[in-house]
Structure 1
Amino acid sequence: MGSRENKERHQETSDVDFGDIQMQKELGNAAFTTSNKAVWRNKTIVVKNYTISNLSAATRKNEYSKLLKMNHENVLMFYGVSALFNDKPSLLMEYAECGSLHEQIHGKGIKNYSTRDALNWMYQCAKGLEFLHSLRIFHFNIKPRNLFLFNNHRQLKVGELGNHPGILKKCKSRPYMPPERYYDLNNGEKYDVYSFGMVLWEVITRKKHVYKLFGRDSGYQAPFTDFTEDLAPIRWLIECCRDRDPVNRPTMKSLATSIALEIEDINLGEIMGHGAYGVVYKSQLFDVPCAVKEVFVADDDTKKNIEREVKYLSRATHKNIVKLFGSKLSKDSKTLIVMEFADCGTLYDYVHKEEEQKRNEYSDSTALSWIRQLAEGLQYLHAMKPKPIIHRDIKTKNLLLTDNYRVLKIADFGTVREQATLMTKQFVGTAEYMAPEASLKYKYSEKSDVYSFGIVFWEVMSRKKPFYHLQNLPPVAIMHKVTKGERPPIEDTKDLKNVRTLIINCWNNNPEDRTCMKHLLCKLPEATE
């Protein structure tokens, strides 16, 4: 629906004369509301009447103005607001001919559904919520009773928007409320994610949540006793959604893609890059572009280790980290890692572009912005619980750009690379960016990433390739020189603010003398543009 059509629809339906509505049977009631089937303008609708409301029809109409303007295939359509009596508002909305998801899960005499059906519904639920969250609209009451089915039970739409979370404790919503409940509503997106996880458990198990009264984990439970091995990825998603810390919960966008990974076959597209341990392809899951890395491993134990590492790394949710959606085996038993697609290529290609002798020009402020984003992403990885993530291979070829080259994202985590190279005893890392302790003792720590960060910092500020002055020495020779104190020429960078001082500190030979990423962030110059 185009913007002009939306505008016309909004003008026609934002104020409805209740006399134009032909009320039919009551469909149900909840806290302070009753819902009736009705006919309006020759179509079947639902009218939701507020029997008690501290909001007038005019206020409610204003509250629903966003909903009246939007149109999405997985969000219930709203037609307007009317006043019944005593200025209590009535909402006009789309009628779901197949009922609610609650009826489908728990209703009697309902045709059974498959796990694939359940995942298809939850994929659509995630897409609807992703759309709402993009408009800064948060639901605060996701549960099967508020999810509706259409088109012979094939299509799901998110409904019952606009409830104020403060009244939810009086509804049948407690099992779906996160630990923060109605006391902390500052992060509506992560509130909805928790509820989504509880619904995902319910639609898979076809059971209702059980309340545990005592103990540290008192509250509504979603046990996994009925989950078979093939449902392990879904169990992991549910556990991520139900993390007690809202910061650690995934986004709706990543949830949608992860579910799509479980129900959609992966078709590998064009090759975007390749290396010693894998090939990266462009692909698509439903309507979501993604990148797929095919990893060169044949050993079953290594495949399981990679799957475990990807599962942990997929918990990383940060604007400057490429999101990992999961892994799976291809039809020919190859390990595939599915991740976020970055549309502007690598930082290396941008900095060192040499097509037709024309290089990309960028300002010092842009360079500092990239470096700050890299520092923020690394600081997040190093602070992850229960164990920090050490990248092990920070270099410009593993830093991707999006949003018209403005946003930098860290990719190609070294822990996965480590698993892929165990059998060949290869180094994890790249000689020009590798910390001296890593090449000497195979010893990695957060400070190894700090060293690599310093090399990238120098590279972006100087616009030159690391160790260019050594005239293409082999990697082993470069590593030897690095252990003896060799570094790229610091004079190639501008003496801008404290840039040189920070770079020199990052590539100090002694790891203990390097500043941690958290403190580096405080000292980095701000981008001025």
Structure 2
Amino acid sequence: MQLTHLCLIMPSDYDKLEPLHATPQTNIKGSQKKVKSRKQHPQGACCGGHVVATLLHGSLTRLCETKWWNNLCQHGTRRKTKQIKSSCVVFHDMEGVQLSSMIGKDSNINHPRIFSYAELYIGSRGFSEEEVLGSGGFGKVYKAVMPSDGTVVAVKCCLAGKGGQFEKTFAAELAAVAHLRHKNLVPLRGWCVFEDQLYLVYDYMPNLSLDRVLFRKNMKEEPLGWVRRGKIVKGLACALHYLHEQLETQIIHRDVKTSNVMLDSHYNARLGDFGLARWLEHELESKSVCGIFGYMSPEYVESGEATTAADVYSFGVVVLEIVSGLKAVDFRQPEVLLVKKVHEFEMRKRPLEELADIGLNGEYNYKELMRLVSLGVACTSSDPKLRPSTRKIVSILDGNDKLIMGENMESREDWRERNACSLSLVKRIQALGIQ
């Protein structure tokens, strides 16, 4: 067994503790002299809680510097293993809070809660780099095991920026988002605001994210099968349909991409970060672009206005990635933008089966392949009016091919004109030699 972290949790009212030898205050004469004498000491010097905290801090610091502690931390590890740096951290925390009062008291629903920083710190082993699941524009994601019941969760860290004010303004709204339940969404269990950091706690997905499985680095690993690919597309479509059309207050995701599509133990698609997207809509005082190049629609790049049609465009890009096994943007490819490559295939009437992922070795359903490619092309139309709604997308995936056959095709000139901004950016990046 290797000991890497030692965390001592003091009671929340530890600063009110009195030393054992302290004499209770009474109303008898002479007691005022004792009180006055206490005031002569520095603030907190005679408070038992502060004395205990100071002694613990000093003792643990000295302990971390001893040879015995270093030997204990490295016991059972190989010599090649990097030595763990000893550190002593003291922080003030708040209690975890259940938020059922904000969103109702349905006993059949797992209500979101405010987690304490201590349980997240302990569960992630001090936010160890070894527990990092991934990182993105918002920050790192850590795997954590809750010390109370052993539940495995994923903790996403990002800047809150406003500290306590954030909680007052957005706690009720995040609670409402956490209350959303759909089989194709990653449930938001709750959050924690500590100093300038916001920690969002989600259910842990055993198969991590779609991009890790689809764009596998180890080519010896088995590629994602065709049946699972179709299942993932359908699940993602259902999640967006739920957010766009099945809620009283519509939610626009703003950042649909393969790294935000998580996979559970049965490879069901679970769309994540929908809570962050809604928070960002409030945080951004002006229209600002929030997304990844290659997934953003032409009109969103130019205006910064988030719409359901922009989400559908991003969904279409993910569909084309799933079919082809290629990334949305790859400067190592002759055609950098996957969307441009696919639209060129469509406009020049080239065989669409050539777009199928070579890792499938021809093991796919031809009719389903044609359906997904056609759907991806329709969703990534440069004209938002030509893109299908999520309701229509779900119907097409259920086999209603007549809906997609009637979609209007745009000309090559129109496509290039509307995508001029993205095409220009690609040329500038290529000129700089950036891969």
TM-score exceeds 0.5: yes
Taking the TM superposition and a 5 Å limit, the aligned residue runs for 1:265-414 are 265-267=119-121, 268-269=124-125, 270-285=131-146, 286=148, 287-300=150-163, 301=165, 307-330=171-194, 332-355=195-218, 357-404=219-266, 406-413=267-274, 414=276
Give the superposition deviation at 1:260.
8.2
Task: State whether residues 322 and 409 of structure 1, in contact with CA within 8 Å, keep that contact through their aligned partners in structure 2.
Answer: yes
Q: From the superposition, tell whether residues 292 and 463 of structure 1 become closer, same or farther in structure 2 (CA, over 3 Å).
A: same
- Tell me the amino acid that sits aligned with residue 277 of structure 2: T
Q: From the superposition, tell whether residues 424 and 241 of structure 1 become closer, same or farther in structure 2 (CA, over 3 Å).
A: closer
The DSSP-based 3-state class of the residue aligned with 2:381 is coil
> Take 2:345 and 2:240, find their aligned partners in 1: how far apart are those partners?
25
Q: From the superposition, tell whether residues 272 and 381 of structure 1 become closer, same or farther in structure 2 (CA, over 3 Å).
A: same
CA deviations over 1:274-320 (Å, ceiling 9, x no partner): 22332211113322111111212333455655545422311210111
- Tell me the amino acid that sits aligned with residue 347 of structure 1: L
Who is 1:443 aligned against?
305
Task: State whether residues 297 and 303 of structure 1, in contact with CA within 8 Å, keep that contact through their aligned partners in structure 2.
Answer: no
User: RMSD between aligned alpha carbons?
Assistant: 3.8
> Take 1:472 and 1:310, find their aligned partners in 2: how far apart are those partners?
43
Taking the TM superposition and a 5 Å limit, the aligned residue runs for 1:232-251 are 234=98, 236-242=99-105
CA deviations over 1:116-135 (Å, ceiling 9, x no partner): xxxxxxxxxxxxxxxxxxxx
Q: Which has the higher strand share?
A: 1
- Tell me the amino acid that sits aligned with residue 315 of structure 2: F
Give the superposition deviation at 1:358.
2.3
Give the superposition deviation at 1:398.
0.5
Give the superposition deviation at 1:385.
3.3
> Take 1:472 and 1:241, find their aligned partners in 2: how far apart are those partners?
55
Give the superposition deviation at 1:466.
1.6
Q: From the superposition, tell whether residues 324 and 336 of structure 1 become closer, same or farther in structure 2 (CA, over 3 Å).
A: same
Give the superposition deviation at 1:512.
2.2
Deviates more, 1:465-474 or 1:380-389: 465-474
Who is 1:515 aligned against?
388
Who is 1:499 aligned against?
372
Q: From the superposition, tell whether residues 233 and 509 of structure 1 become closer, same or farther in structure 2 (CA, over 3 Å).
A: farther
Task: State whether residues 160 and 196 of structure 2, in contact with CA within 8 Å, keep that contact through their aligned partners in structure 1.
Answer: no
The DSSP-based 3-state class of the residue aligned with 1:295 is strand
Task: State whether residues 277 and 417 of structure 1, in contact with CA within 8 Å, keep that contact through their aligned partners in structure 2.
Answer: no
> Take 2:235 and 2:272, find their aligned partners in 1: how far apart are those partners?
13
Give the superposition deviation at 1:369.
0.6
TM-score, normalisation: structure 2: 0.56
TM-score, normalisation: structure 1: 0.47
User: Unaligned 5+ residue runs, structure 1?
Assistant: 1-229, 243-248
Q: From the superposition, tell whether residues 444 and 354 of structure 1 become closer, same or farther in structure 2 (CA, over 3 Å).
A: same
Task: State whether residues 239 and 271 of structure 2, in contact with CA within 8 Å, keep that contact through their aligned partners in structure 1.
Answer: yes
> Take 1:430 and 1:448, find their aligned partners in 2: how far apart are those partners?
12
- Tell me the amino acid that sits aligned with residue 358 of structure 1: K
Q: From the superposition, tell whether residues 517 and 424 of structure 1 become closer, same or farther in structure 2 (CA, over 3 Å).
A: closer
CA deviations over 1:462-503 (Å, ceiling 9, x no partner): 1111243784999xxx7xx98x99958563146634222211
The DSSP-based 3-state class of the residue aligned with 1:465 is coil
CA deviations over 1:175-203 (Å, ceiling 9, x no partner): xxxxxxxxxxxxxxxxxxxxxxxxxxxxx
Give the superposition deviation at 1:523.
0.9
Give the superposition deviation at 1:415.
1.8
Who is 1:430 aligned against?
292
Task: State whether residues 296 and 313 of structure 2, in contact with CA within 8 Å, keep that contact through their aligned partners in structure 1.
Answer: yes
Task: State whether residues 244 and 251 of structure 2, in contact with CA within 8 Å, keep that contact through their aligned partners in structure 1.
Answer: yes
> Take 2:95 and 2:143, find their aligned partners in 1: how far apart are those partners?
26
Q: From the superposition, tell whether residues 423 and 292 of structure 1 become closer, same or farther in structure 2 (CA, over 3 Å).
A: farther
The DSSP-based 3-state class of the residue aligned with 1:266 is helix
The DSSP-based 3-state class of the residue aligned with 1:294 is strand
> Take 2:258 and 2:344, find their aligned partners in 1: how far apart are those partners?
15
Q: From the superposition, tell whether residues 503 and 263 of structure 1 become closer, same or farther in structure 2 (CA, over 3 Å).
A: closer
User: Unaligned 5+ residue runs, structure 2?
Assistant: 1-93, 126-130, 347-351, 357-365, 400-435
Taking the TM superposition and a 5 Å limit, the aligned residue runs for 1:214-225 are none
- Tell me the amino acid that sits aligned with residue 320 of structure 1: N
Who is 2:429 aligned against?
none
- Tell me the amino acid that sits aligned with residue 428 of structure 1: C
> Take 2:342 and 2:304, find their aligned partners in 1: how far apart are those partners?
19
Give the superposition deviation at 1:266.
2.1
RCO higher in 1 or 2 (8 Å CA, sep ≥ 6)? 2
CA deviations over 1:253-289 (Å, ceiling 9, x no partner): x33xx35836973223422122233221111332211
CA deviations over 1:33-54 (Å, ceiling 9, x no partner): xxxxxxxxxxxxxxxxxxxxxx
Task: State whether residues 279 and 295 of structure 1, in contact with CA within 8 Å, keep that contact through their aligned partners in structure 2.
Answer: yes
